Amino acid sequence: MRWAVIVFPGSNCDDDAVAAITRATGDEVVKVWHQERDLRPYDAIVLPGGFSYGDYLRCGAIARFSPVMAAVRAEAEAGKLVLGICNGFQILTEAGLLPGALVRNHHLQFRCEMAELVVENDRSPFTSLYRRGERVRIPIAHGEGRYIADEAVLDELARAGRIAFTYAADVNGSARRIAGVLNERGNVLGLMPHPERAVAAWMGSEDGLRMFAAIHRAVEEGVHVG
Amino acid sequence: MATWKAQVRVWLKPSVFDPQGRAVEQALHSLGYTGVGEVRIGKYMELRLEAASEAEAAAQVRAMCDAVLVNPVMETYAFSLEPWAKDARAEASA
């Protein structure tokens, strides 16, 4: 299978994502500039972390209008797997591909540290190699990662199993400690923690490997989502 | 076609906790302004636009706010319009 890692002006975790995917899967990974309009040649799409467009106006607000985003939307609608990490998550919420929004952490600090997450859903193509209730260590690095949404939306996310990960401890004030959410169909995942930074023992954790391996497995086995 | 100046204010919805506002409020309290509360930090944007009438200008501003300037999940906004003064920029920088 072939992965696309989208590069926006200001993305800075794109090389890390490529290295992590390569290490976890051995698959072909292509960095795709945000001016590209066709993502049909790719089987999975990653929107990496960083500070696209300098976080001007709001995090992800300008990147959402990049030409590539129409293609991301089209491939998501076609059922392909789309993973948004950190700034990628912010872009997906701004684009309306995921519900809610990410706002300034309640303590106003930029937190760059290892975080313990709780796997809330192990039945998605992104999380099938984890076990529900399992605690995994995946680092965070964000100043604006506090997830918010209307209560009705939060209730629906919880009811439908669309909360993929929560924080074991309250690291940023997120509603219901949400760290990652799925779209309704289950083929788009956004999360603030960085799985690409947890793929080797020397990084302090290898727990991120299984996310990329799970995506690989879902695509290779032709799991139909939705 | 007339030229208008729009002044847009954007701030977090009342339901969204504003930690910046809280920090500033505490700073004000420590300065002795103990009666101050409900501090909210927002953004101010200013733009020039062409429209035949004030109503049309307002419709344009509203559309721009809904499309990009404001994220309704987290923010709310208000704006005002006035005819664009030719030397507005010179005045602003004076």
Q: Would you say residue A142 lies in a domain?
A: yes
Per-residue pLDDT tens over the stretch A17-57:
999 999 999 999 999 999 999 999 999 999 999 999 999 99
Residue labelled with tokens 């509603």? A175
Q: Which two tokens stand for residue B17?
A: 């906790």
Q: Would you say residue A226 lies in a domain?
A: no
Per-residue pLDDT tens over the stretch A127-172:
999 999 999 999 999 999 999 999 999 999 999 999 999 999 999 9
Of A13, A86, A120, A216, the catalytic one is: A86
Select from A105, A98, A99, A137 the least CA-distant residue to A118: A137
The three-class DSSP label of residue A92 is helix
Select from A105, A84, A104 the least CA-distant residue to A96: A84
pLDDT band at B72 (very low <50, low <70, confident <90, very high): very high
Kindly give, in sequence order, each residue whose CB lies less than 8 Å from that of residue A65, ignoring residues fewer than 6 positions away: B68
Q: Which two tokens stand for residue A111?
A: 């937190």
Inform me whether the pLDDT recorded for B53 exceeds 60.
yes
Better-scored residue on pLDDT, B92 or A37: A37
CB A159 within 8 A of CB A221: no
Annotate B62-87 with b (16+ C-beta within 10 A) or e (fewer).
eebbeeebbbebbbbbebebeeeeee
The residue-averaged pLDDT of A48-70 equals 96
DSSP H or E stretch at residue A71: helix A67-77
Identify whether A86 is a catalytic site residue.
yes
Q: Which domain holds residue A11?
A: 2-220
CATH of residue A32's domain is 3.40.50.880
Report pLDDT for A222: 83
Q: How many domains is chain A partitioned into structurally?
A: 1
Report pLDDT for B94: 45
The three-class DSSP label of residue A6 is strand
Q: Would you say residue A225 lies in a domain?
A: no
Inform me whether the pLDDT recorded for B66 exceeds 80.
yes
Identify whether A194 is a catalytic site residue.
yes
Contact at CB, B74 and A93, closer than 8 angstroms: no
Of A94, A142, A196, A216, the catalytic one is: A196
Distance CA B24, CA B66 (A): 28
Kindly give, in sequence order, each residue whose CB lies less than 8 Å from that of residue A16, ignoring residues fewer than 6 positions away: A48, A194, A196, A197
- How close does chain A come to B31, measured CA to CA in Å? 21
Residue of chain B nearest A175, judged by CA positions:
B16
Could you state, in order of their start, the residue ranges of all structural domains in chain B?
2-93
The residue-averaged pLDDT of B42-65 equals 97
Report pLDDT for B90: 52
The residue-averaged pLDDT of B22-49 equals 97
Contact at CB, A173 and B68, closer than 8 angstroms: no
Q: Would you say residue A17 lies in a domain?
A: yes
Kindly give, in sequence order, each residue whose CB lies less than 8 Å from that of residue A185, ignoring residues fewer than 6 positions away: A79, A225, A226
In the CATH scheme, what is the code of domain B2-93?
3.30.1280.10
Q: Mean pLDDT score of chain B, rounded to an integer?
A: 93
CB B47 within 8 A of CB B65: no
Return phi, psi of residue A115, to 5°. Answer: -125, 145
Distance CA B29, CA A204 (A): 42
Q: What angle do CA A182, A47, A17 make, to 5 degrees?
A: 110
Per-residue pLDDT tens over the stretch A150-162:
999 999 999 999 9
Report pLDDT for B86: 74
Per-residue pLDDT tens over the stretch A162-205:
999 999 999 999 999 999 999 999 999 999 999 999 999 999 99
Distance CA B58, CA B44 (A): 17
Identify whether A28 is a catalytic site residue.
no
Residue of chain A nearest B16, judged by CA positions:
A148
Contact at CB, B12 and A108, closer than 8 angstroms: no
- State how beta strands A188-191 and A81-85 pair: parallel
Measured between beta carbons, which residues in chain A are less than 8 angstroms from residue B19?
104-108, 173
CB A189 within 8 A of CB A130: no
